[in-house]
Amino acid sequence: MPFVLVILGRQGSGKGTQAALLAERYGVIHVSTGDMLRAAVAAGTELGLRAKAVMDAGDLVGDDIMIGIVDERLSGDDIQAHGVLLDGFPRTTAQADALAETLEGSGPDLAINLDVPIAEVTQRMLARGRGDDTTEAIDRRLALYEAETAPLLEWFEGRECLAVVNGLGTEEEVFARLTKVIDGL
Ligand code: AMP
């Protein structure tokens, strides 16, 4: 089994930025399901056509679709050789169960929750002004995070692989906190 690191955090927590930095530091492959979906939308593939409306509304793409995409990606030779940093997956307990099945019953090596309060992420998302960052979509995504993704924290805790890292502060400060946790493994 390859080394599997998961990074969780509300949209706007900075997890995408930190995930890219961490992948570079540790030489693992960064897999962002949001980036994969946005690439599919840009390329106009069948997946992209199906995902676009869901993403624009701030809803979650279906578990079956997401599990299929990630399973296929995880079987890649690069990931088998170098390990993976999953960014944006799993997002539901069904996705986490599917991941554990792929990993032959075990959880990931480590799941980090990059913790930033709701008020702060809302400000950050409005400030970055991405096309899908309407106030309605932001509210919807944050509500879905509490409903669907927050229960995952318990899921990881139950497998004794959860670490919580404070995501407030500069990019460098947060990166230093993250590497401290990972180096402690
Ligand atoms: P992100 O860049 O991670 O914020 O993802 C952008 C959008 O892609 C989300 O708002 C969802 O609509 C969709 N998405 C990304 N990853 C997942 C996932 N694991 N499960 C369901 N939907 C996802």
- Ligand 1 centroid – CA 107 distance (Å): 21
**Is any ligand 1 atom within 6 A of the Cβ of residue 61?**
yes
Q: At what angle do helices 118-128 and 135-144 cross, to 10 degrees?
A: 140
What pTM does this model have? 0.94
pLDDT reported for residue 5 = 98
| pLDDT at residue number 134 | 84
The residue ranges of every structural domain in the chain are 4-32+83-183
Cβ 34 under 6 angstroms from ligand 1 = yes
Identify the pLDDT of residue 1.
82
Distance (Å) from CA 60 to ligand 1 centroid? 6
What local confidence, expressed as pLDDT, does residue 170 receive? 97
pLDDT attached to residue 107: 86
- Give 30's strand partners: 85
Q: 145 CB less than 6 Å from ligand 1?
A: no
Q: Can you give the pLDDT at residue 125?
A: 87
pLDDT (0 to 100) of residue 47: 94
**CB distance 13 to ligand 1 below 6 Å:** no
Q: What is the pLDDT tens value at each position of the chain, 185 positions in all?
A: 899 999 999 989 999 999 999 999 999 999 999 999 999 999 999 999 999 999 988 899 999 999 999 999 999 999 999 999 999 999 999 999 999 999 988 889 999 999 999 999 998 888 887 777 888 888 999 999 999 988 999 999 999 999 999 999 999 999 999 999 999 98
Q: What is the pLDDT of residue 21?
A: 98
Domain 4-32+83-183 has CATH 3.40.50.300: yes
In the chain, alpha helices (H):
15-26, 33-43, 46-56, 63-74, 77-82, 93-102, 118-128, 135-144, 150-158, 171-183
Distance 144 CA to ligand 1 centre (A): 11
- Does residue 111 line the site of ligand 1, with CB under 6 A? no
Q: How many residues does the chain have?
A: 185
